[in-house]
Structure 1
């Protein structure tokens, strides 16, 4: 009998460390972190994952720390937009660059700033309310007491998912409004918002039911406008956008890994924050 070991002519050697298969090793590793309360069992289809107390804390803090920086970033872009009536004549090589007036810069800055702040604020509120109700029922403020499992909690959950679609559209708005995109791609200026509306409607109807499809919608919305942006951005600054895209796409791998990887959702939050920082830097230095 083999019984988990490889048989040679005269000597038997373990197939893997401790005689376990790779899958068994991964499962043992996951069980170890579950025992330490770093994660719970993976949620079933159509059911929300129930984080541990540590995961609740990490989910909340990982985006809460980005609220103030995102407010400052939006304010910085807005102030810079006030100076763009003259600068708009110089930043683009296109002879029609004068078409971009100060109002274009201001509207883009406001949309970008609002979407950036909203992403981190809504996420923080949702995770904080869920955390308070789940682990501190006797010390919870009134809002949390009526929230978990209620229509209000479901609304916050929907907002937490829907704001991602709005954030993606808001992030692309400056690039699409302040660039001369190819005529065949001009529809993306309004198309990204149609996509966001479709994503929010999907979340409203099928929240947590088809998790893979939801993830693919985020990826599709993020990649499609990138084609237009990449075609209008010089190579000097393209690497900043590419870096942000790498952060976002890497984070996607963790987006639905709750129950497989400890604090997966919080780690995804950190990748989102890193992507947002990278894209803000590129947007501010190139367009503002």
Structure 2
């Protein structure tokens, strides 16, 4: 009975995931994984637009409007690009558009990382080092995008390392914060993203690994969005700055 049960579990797992992709090949999700991948990022598209609208309505200066627009649009494009790519994958579409959105799906992560730092570096006081770290995070973003276009999917481990470098190194700026309000939420969101990276490369090992990664991204983004709204939106209302 125990052997039969183990065989049954093994068969069910095979239905939920395919074998790991070989070197230089793409992982092909099962139909169930495709659906999970679409849903777990697709459900955030409209909320991200609504969140952008709320931030813009509550912004109290031109500086806030611009930086929050950068962040909000990056959030929207992150979920939209990912969802479109997974929709094309689910329909087994091939050709230019699938490749475009596949590269875009990976490249937009760099944009989102940089855009997530931007409101903090622009709207918070970092003891004079904010401008340096803005350059660091956006140059890292550009280099990451170039890497994706040149070596897409060839060096998978290096890809993850680059994401971690671009995402973690600029966090050193927090050691210069003169006001640490929001630091806890920033740390929680960052920890969620890093924990999610564990599943980022476990396709073919853990069923629905990529969808689980999507869930971590959504939760990390939610934590950072909450922190931005609580500690950054409207902080210039009394600084006599011109409202857009």
Q: Does 201-210 or 220-229 show the bigger shift?
A: 220-229
Paired position in structure 2 for 1:3: none
Structure 1 residues 103 and 185 mapped into 2: Cα distance closer, same or farther (>3 Å)? closer
Tell me by how many angstroms 1:31 deviates: 4.5
Alpha-carbon distance in 1 for matches of 2:76, 2:102: 17
Paired position in structure 2 for 1:112: 71
**Which residue of the other structure, out of 176, 181, 184, is the alignment partner of 1:239?**
184
Q: Which has the higher contact order (CA 8 A, sep 6+)?
A: 2
Deviations 1:130-184 (A, max 9, x none): 1022xxxxxxxxxxxxx42x12211111000000000111111100111222334
Structure 1 residues 229 and 71 mapped into 2: Cα distance closer, same or farther (>3 Å)? farther
Asked whether the equivalents of residues 33 and 39 of structure 1 are also in contact (C-alpha less than 8 Å), the reply is no
Tell me by how many angstroms 1:209 deviates: 0.9
Q: Does 1:131 align with 2:90?
A: yes
Task: Give the 4+ runs in structure 1 shifted more than 6 A.
Answer: none
Deviations 1:89-127 (A, max 9, x none): xxxxxxxxxxxxx22111111101100000000000100
Alpha-carbon distance in 2 for matches of 1:168, 1:197: 11
Mapping of residues 246-265 of structure 1, within 5 Å = 246-265=191-210
**Which residue of the other structure, out of 37, 46, 69, is the alignment partner of 1:59?**
37
**Which residue of the other structure, out of 110, 133, 141, is the alignment partner of 1:196?**
141
Paired position in structure 2 for 1:151: 96
- 5+ residue gaps, structure 2, are 234-244
Alpha-carbon distance in 1 for matches of 2:217, 2:8: 26
Alpha-carbon distance in 2 for matches of 1:30, 1:182: 57
Structure 1 residues 176 and 235 mapped into 2: Cα distance closer, same or farther (>3 Å)? closer
Tell me by how many angstroms 1:248 deviates: 0.2
The DSSP-based 3-state class of the residue aligned with 1:209 is: coil
Larger radius of gyration: 1
Paired position in structure 2 for 1:74: 52
Asked whether the equivalents of residues 165 and 200 of structure 1 are also in contact (C-alpha less than 8 Å), the reply is yes
**Which residue of the other structure, out of 205, 208, 214, is the alignment partner of 2:153?**
208
**Which residue of the other structure, out of 27, 33, 55, is the alignment partner of 1:49?**
27
RMSD of the TM alignment (CA)?
2.0
Q: Does 110-119 or 173-182 show the bigger shift?
A: 173-182
TM-score scaled by structure 1?
A: 0.75
Asked whether the equivalents of residues 58 and 263 of structure 1 are also in contact (C-alpha less than 8 Å), the reply is yes
**Which residue of the other structure, out of 39, 44, 51, is the alignment partner of 2:17?**
39
Paired position in structure 2 for 1:225: 170
